[in-house]
Amino acid sequence: METKFTETYPNVSEEGRETDCEKVVNLLDLIIDGEASSDEQTFFKAHIEDCVTCFESHQKQRLMKSLVSGHLKRVLVPASLASSIKAKIQQTA
Ligand SMILES: [Zn+2]
């Protein structure tokens, strides 16, 4: 079986040439943070309507961002649960 490393890094291109996908990848953070200009937003929206790859990475990025910023507290284990796990471990040890 031949392993194609190029498939792992689809966005690497020749120096000085930036594809639309690369532009979108670079814009992702600005878009999600709401810091992109209206030109950048227009370009971004037009591109993800045509490009499934960038659309999906936008979805993932947005999900990650919301996990990190807004919903992190829900992910944290409650102190009561943590101490009951500790107690179980001590009982069996
Ligand atoms: Zn794209």
Tokens of 92: 């069996």
Distance of alpha carbon 75 from alpha carbon 5, whole angstroms:
34
Q: How confident is the model at residue 73 (pLDDT cuts 50, 70, 90)?
A: low
pLDDT at 89: 84
Distance of alpha carbon 22 from alpha carbon 11, whole angstroms:
6
End-to-end CA distance of the chain: 47
pTM over 0.85: no
22 CA from centroid of ligand 1 (Å): 7
- If one compares 54 and 66, the residue with the highest pLDDT of the two is 54
- If one compares 58 and 71, the residue with the highest pLDDT of the two is 58
Domain total of the chain: 1
Residue 29 sits in which domain range?
5-92
53 CA from centroid of ligand 1 (Å): 6
